[in-house]
């Protein structure tokens, strides 16, 4: 999993889209694992209802991990003898099943939590935690720019799906949520990502087409990219250059301290 969700790279791979096991390229940017437990649905299009269901998806995806079936995965893991006592310890049974694999991966992912940012410390009463630009950006985020139309709550995401117009000019656009619901209103709509630790997860958007936070702000300032299904929540902001800089400064103040990293195991089951 860490080839696309690398703890050293914001739990992503910092690529527009990810390369799979045989060098094939995916179509969407690898989302961060940080705070993924707080989303109501998983994947950019919300096709998985929880982390367990999400964990099983890439395993049989022909581009990502390329296994022919979950039975093949079970057979492969079962032949690695030192996995069996680990499953015994975790589940009280050494037999490996896809449900246990999904639960193990999801349980680990739920420990990858961001927080204690400069914003959090400021909100909890430490008025020295943020500088003047970051404070102005905070007021813009919750005020004039109204970013909380979508980036709401402690995880800065409504777990809903919105069309910003990104990628809609392509000859064959990615229809996003529509692929799951088949509803016209969901064409080109993608899940709202968290803004926490966003400095580490570039490039941005579902297709990795926006390189910097400054470009993200410009996209929103002009009201997204016009298309038939543009979200009504995306409107022109008419921000000044200083306001744009302050908004970026605030987003940078959402970096976790400490950053939720983990050391790679020194050895793996054989």
Q: pLDDT at position 119, please?
A: 99
- Average predicted confidence (pLDDT) for the chain: 97
Q: Is 225 a catalytic residue?
A: no
What SS3 class is residue 163?
Answer: coil
This prediction's pTM: 0.95
Structural domains in the chain plus CATH codes: 7-109 (1.10.760.10), 118-252 (1.10.760.10)
Provide block-wise average pLDDT over 10 residues at a time, the chain (270 residues).
Answer: 96 96 93 98 98 97 94 96 96 97 98 98 98 99 98 98 98 98 98 98 98 99 98 98 99 97 90
Instruction: Find out whether 221 and 238 touch, Cβ atoms under 8 Å.
Output: yes
Token output for 191: 């899940």
The one catalytic residue in 52, 53, 64, 215 is 64
φ and ψ of 115, to 5 deg: 165, -170
In tens, the pLDDT along 89-132 reads: 999 999 999 999 999 999 999 999 999 999 999 999 999 999 99
Instruction: Find out whether 31 and 14 touch, Cβ atoms under 8 Å.
Output: no
What SS3 class is residue 35?
Answer: coil
């Amino acid at each position: 999993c860490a080839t696309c969700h690398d703890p050293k790279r914001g739990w992503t791979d910092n690529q527009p889209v990810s390369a799979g096991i045989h060098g094939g390229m995916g179509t969407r940017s690898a989302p961060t694992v940080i705070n993924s437990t707080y989303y109501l649905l998983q994947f950019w299009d919300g096709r998985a209802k929880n982390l367990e269901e999400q964990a099983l998806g890439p395993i049989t995806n022909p581009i990502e991990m390329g296994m022919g079936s979950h039975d093949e995965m079970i057979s492969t893991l079962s032949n690695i003898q030192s996995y069996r006592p680990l499953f015994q310890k975790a589940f009280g049974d050494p037999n490996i099943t896809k449900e246990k694999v999904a639960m193990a991966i999801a349980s680990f992912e739920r420990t990858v939590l961001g927080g204690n940012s400069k914003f959090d410390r400021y909100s909890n009463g430490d008025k020295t935690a943020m500088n003047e630009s970051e404070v102005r950006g905070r007021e813009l985020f919750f005020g004039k720019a109204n970013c909380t139309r979508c980036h709401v709550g402690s995880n800065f995401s409504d777990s809903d799906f919105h069309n910003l117009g990104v990628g809609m000019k392509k000859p064959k656009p990615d229809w996003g949520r529509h692929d799951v619901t088949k509803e016209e209103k969901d064409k080109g709509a993608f899940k709202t990502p968290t803004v926490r630790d966003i400095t580490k997860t570039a490039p941005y958007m579902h297709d990795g087409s926006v390189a910097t936070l400054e470009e993200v702000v410009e996209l929103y300032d002009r009201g997204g990219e016009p298309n038939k299904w543009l979200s009504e929540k995306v409107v022109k902001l008419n921000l000044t250059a200083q306001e744009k800089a302050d908004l970026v400064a605030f987003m940078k103040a959402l970096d976790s301290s400490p950053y939720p990293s983990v050391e790679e195991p020194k050895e793996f089951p054989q």
